[in-house]
Amino acid sequence: MSVSRRRFLGAGAVAAAGLSLGRFRTAGATPLFAPLRSARLPAHPVIVSSANGLRGVAKAYDLVVGGSDPLDAVIAGVNIQELDPEDQSVGLGGLPNEEGVVQLDASCMHGPTKRAGAVGALEDIATPSLVAKAVMDYTDHIFLAGAGAKKFALEMGFKEQNLLTEKSRQDWLRWKAHLGPDNSWLKHDDDVKVKFTTGTINMNVVTTSGDLASVTTTSGLSWKLPGRVGDSAIVGAGQYCDNAVGAAGSTGRGEANIKVCGAFFVIEQMRQGVAPQQACLTALQRAVAMSERRLLDPKGRPMYGLQYYAVGKDGRYAGVTLYEGRQFAVADAKGARLEDCAFLYRRSEMPPSAW
């Protein structure tokens, strides 16, 4: 029987794919979508967060122990920062964009139901994490942005308010006054250093039944271009959760994290049996490897900050950072506390311009 060249090449491609798959499986790698290999589930809930979530992890832990849904618990945890006007990187009082407008981003994932929700460039609503959850709960979508996100929030009953506190407004004026010698703004408290932030809060949880959830919320890069959305609102970058494996998230330079799909990358390594700390450190290495030359010092070290946090289905957890000296928050049977992050570079190696 004659066989056309197209059919022959097609059959060869299928055979080659089968051989490749066979080699992959016999190499001992965990099959795609398999659960994390673990001897047992955690004896107590474990919650990890960026350091600004110390109060939040304590609250989330108590809620989970009391029977609350894991996602409800961590969102209640980050709400503390979103509603704190003294935290200028999240929610109310967040540092604004270059036009003096506070725009917020958030996303969340619910492990047991495999659902997710996100909002970007949301204005005048102090708790974007709750709006992201409402997108998850009440729509067939995952991500709403800008005016549409605000319209949805108002329709859902969220209250509109001015998020720009006087403290953040003054910082914005200082920034405008330092734009350069040719701008029309007078110097404003010239002896005060202009603030610059990429601060965010990420929180992840595993329960004693092995259920997981994650949430990340932020006001984003201070003085950003209007409409800029960072990694916090992007599922798979700013946070990611797989109920079979674990949950992870990030803070720091969102642009660096988006390019490596950091949170997803961490979870996929953990699926292969890599411990959370090593998975997070490898994600940092990947982010540095993908950085443009302009973002690296002459020795190839990043001139920005980036952190990852992760918890596995088995209760193992980690917090990592590029440069030595940062901490992250943990809550478990030992209570809520700060622990030192693992790191790639010593503080002595940090370039002067690194955030």
Active site residues: 200
Residues 6+ apart with CB under 8 A from 26: none
The length of the chain, given as a count of residues = 355
For the record, the structure tokens of 76 come out as: 């209640």
Distances (CA, A) of 31 to 19, 274, 348: 15, 14, 41
For the record, the structure tokens of 67 come out as: 């029977």
For residue 324, count CB atoms less than 10 angstroms from its CB and return exposed for 0-12, middle for 13-18, buried for 19 or more: middle
In the chain, what is the straight-line distance between the N-terminal and C-terminal CA atoms, in Å? 69
DSSP β-ladder status, 115-122 and 239-242: unpaired
Strand (E) or helix (H) holding 266: helix 262-271
Residue 136: phi and psi, rounded to 5, are -65, -45
For the record, the structure tokens of 243 come out as: 């109920």
- As a whole number of angstroms, the distance between CA 268 and CA 66 comes to 31
Q: Identify the CA nearest to 143 among candidates 114, 166, 122, 168.
A: 122
- For residue 103, count other CB atoms closer than 10 A to its CB: 26
Give the type of residue at 138. Y
- As a whole number of angstroms, the distance between CA 202 and CA 92 comes to 17
156 close to 131: Cβ distance less than 8 angstroms = yes
DSSP β-ladder status, 104-110 and 239-242: unpaired
What's the number of CA atoms in the CB half-sphere (13 Å) around residue 53?
Answer: 38
- As a whole number of angstroms, the distance between CA 110 and CA 113 comes to 6
